[in-house]
A and B are shown apart, each in its own frame.
Chain A
Amino acid sequence: LAKTTQPISMDSYEGQEVNITCSHNNIATNDYITWYQQFPSQGPRFIIQGYKTKVTNEVASLFIPADRKSSTLSLPRVSLSDTAVYYCLVALDNNDMRFGAGTRLTVKP
C-alpha cells in the first residue's frame, strides 16, 4: 500500500489560494489519488480524484506531475468555512484506502 506524507498543519488567510502537497513516492501504476475534507464531528467528504496531470472541479484543482510521486491540492480563494482537515489517499480501490493524519488547514480572517 502506498504511503502518503503531508504537512500536519497549514495556516492561510481569507481570499488566498492554498496549496497542500502530498508525497507518495511508492505509488503503484494503477493507484488513484484522492482527497477528502473533514470538518469536526463529521465524516470526511470527497473533494477530488485524479490519476495524472490536472483535474479541476467546482471546489478544487489537483495537480499531479508526470512521475506521480506527489500531488498538490489547490483551493482557490479560501474562506473561513474551508478550515478543516484535508486527507490525501492513494489506492487502487476503496478497500485499499487508508486515511492518515491529514493536514489541518486553518483559515484566518
Chain B
Amino acid sequence: SQTIHQWPATLVQPVGSPLSLECTVEGTSNPNLYWYRQAAGRGLQLLFYSVGIGQISSEVPQNLSASRPQDRQFILSSKKLLLSDSGFYLCAWSRRPPQAYEQYFGPGTRLTVT
C-alpha cells in the first residue's frame, strides 16, 4: 500500500529564518506531487506541483520554492520566512493520468512564523 510522510509535524520559526519541509511517498512510482498551504479557516492553496524529477510548476508568486531531487521526494523551502507564511502545509500525491484524479494527502506540517 502507498503511504505519504511529512515532517516535521509542527514548526515554530522566527521571521527571516530559512525553511525546509520534506515529503516522501512510499509504495508507488512516478507520482505527481503537490504542495498546498492552508491558512486558518481557509481553503487550500496550491503552491507547487511536480510531474517528475526536477520538474516543478509554481502556482503563486512567493518567497517559497520547491524541489524534487528524487522520484518520491518533494521538498518545500524558503530562504527567509515571512509572517504570512504561517499555515498548515500539506503534501499530496496522485497517480499519473488516466488515473490522476484522486489525490492522497499527507498528515501536514503546521508552521507558525513568529
Give A residues with C-beta under 8 Å from B: 32, 34, 36, 41-46, 49, 87, 93-95, 97-102
Contact = CB atoms under 8 A, between A and B. Distances in A.
18 contacts: A41-B108, A42-B105, A43-B105, A44-B44, A44-B105, A46-B102, A46-B103, A46-B104, A49-B101, A93-B97, A93-B101, A94-B32, A94-B49, A94-B101, A95-B49, A95-B57, A97-B103, A101-B43
A100 B92 CA distance: 17
A43 B106 contact: yes
Contacts of A100: 43
A34 B103 CA distance: 10
B88 interface: yes
B66 interface: no
B103 A94 contact: yes
Interface of B, secondary structure class, is strand
Contacts of A42: 105, 107-108
Nearest to A48: B102
Given A41-B110, A49-B102, A95-B57, A102 B43 contact: yes
A102 B34 CA distance: 19
Contacts of B36: 99
A45 B103 CA distance: 8
